[in-house]
Structure 1
């Protein structure tokens, strides 16, 4: 029936080909080929250029799953590989399916290792199964069995004997073989075990009793450490509130005593009490202000001693101030005043002869070279490069060697300022800028440097104010004003600090 149809079709095609030229045939063929390419392009792309990254991850995940490498810290486990593939394309069901099979494998391995008596391994596989959201009832049942078998095999009696022995020996905390960690280990294996609970409670009671003894001796740091241990093991311990109350009262005693000592001018013991409070309560603003007052007293002593040319005593006072708060801005100002006093003392001495001046100048330049090589630009006081230049300028300001040394120091101070400012070490940047000004107060770069330092003080002060450190914010305001800041940001920070101070 179909043969006549094919015969007629072949006849029509032959007639059409005779009527059309070769070029017509080629054009039609090209058009048909283009349409075919467009239609099949997506299928060809999917076949020839798959998403190689995801495909590779899925393939590696399958290999890891077959090899039993279900999870690995370096990312080579099946879980990590499938999770990465899922993160790259959440629509790929293969990744989710891989994670499901990984969880099932983890649950199966937990059963196998449990049957073999490998309870730690079974516990690890159960954690993985729980993370991969395997049926909770299955995980819980097996986990209870693992805990029970662990308890049976851990020789709880032996653990408790060791814990009791450590308690009797006074080894309550500090290493894994002390009483509290051993009692805690028993409770992890068998939660609610009454003998372990009682042992832990007795050990904590003894620890808190020792904390009270520390408080009676004025050892706030030791008492604070014991309180932290007790809170970590049992925040609801019956003796904890009373001990905490004693601790708070001891802090108040230290603070009030420090204030009285400061009023009497006993700076060292006052500083000791202020620092003891700050060691356990760093946020205690009254103790912080008190310590700053102690530093200011030392600085004032240094100023008076320098004015009387008692330079060794002034150095000692400044050293004590630096030991308490090395970043206090007034310390550096006092160091500068001390250097000026030295120069004044030098100028009051009898005039040097030409030979003596030349010899002394040579010594100063030699010490400058040593300080420059060691990069001791500003410290130690008296032997720094800055000190040598200032002393040389006092006796021979026009000497070419002195001017060259001053220029080298100026270059170093510019670099010092930029480096310290870049690291956000504002006190050090400030010290470099002070020397820069002292050497050449007309330098064209000073104005911009002062402005940048002031802006940085405002920024850091605002940040620390947001963290609740009002004392530092107030100091930052003072420093920004010192460097000539006149900006809306400064006014806003000042307003916020004033409001906070009034509360």
Structure 2
């Protein structure tokens, strides 16, 4: 046995460790340190390799943050706004569209507004008036502090007045007024009066001349009302209001215009209620000529479109497809995206396919026999529990065929009324479970089974709102394509669903920079 290799101390030795033991400890410590360093290096490499997926897992909103950083850099460069979406304003707005609840983008937009105000002041001092107006307009659009905006605008007006040549403007305005050119181009009297007052708001002589010109304009409007020219009168009143909303003759003329408009609206409603759809359409179009944004006239045309769509559906039920197509085309021209018009188009197409399956036109006896066969098949499918599925063999499909052949048959109507609660229950069930595609199929069944118009409108609104909520969720996650699909589906189901236009605008702003 080799005693020289025995590392243990001799018996009776003191507590101090021999020199060989300390060297061994230092050697072991270095080995452990090198091993730990190697493991740390490997872990670092792994983290570097997966850092982007890990970041996406932990911080899914990184794209909005990137947009805010890009916006901050653009602001630092003085690139405040650009039509191509590269300006600080557009970048902050895109980030805000993706994360509407975050405050950083709003704060950034306020910094852009303040920078625009400062640019307006510098441009004014340098007599760069076009640049100053553009910068001031940007600041106001972004809700810059009102007092600061007003001060910058006042300084701009005073600076411009010193360079404008007000005497020459006044002479040209008087000449245009005497010639009867009150409006229509920048060299007309009223635009020139406005230009002078923008630079010298307290000029009493110009204020009197403007009041006279607006009085003449309103006199023309009242003459147009007596001739039944509502659109021209409305345009004159709107023009007068744009130059001086406090003119003394404006309230009386506007009241007369409102009376004539109410009378025209009532006449349109009477024609619509009487089924005289062509006359109703003419009345509503005349009202829209007065005001392209008139909600009641637009709604009236929508009602005409719905009535035309219902007429097209009835015509197609009798297989009168040429007449149905002509009426449906008129309905589409009035309200191409209205749910009733879209449903009527589907109804006409279903009737056309059914006619192709039935072959030549049926005699009354053949039609009655065919209806009995379809009702029998519908009852058998209902007994099996096949109410809405499978496609082509369900009670709903057989009943739909019977309705297409004889929609007014009492037996067909009773069978429809019996199946309708099933379709309603299906819609509610699928909507609660967020199965939106199936809910829409159940809604289509309710339409085919002639559910109440008001109930269908409410169901469409609820389903469209649910799709809009899906779109909001996808946009917040930065998933633009699913968000677009959800918005398109919501519009297809109910184009008038509240919040759709605002959501599409946010989606467009986000897409401008992300796509």
TM-score, length basis structure 1 = 0.42
Structure of higher RCO (CA pairs closer than 8 Å, 6+ residues apart): 2
The structure that has the greater radius of gyration is 1
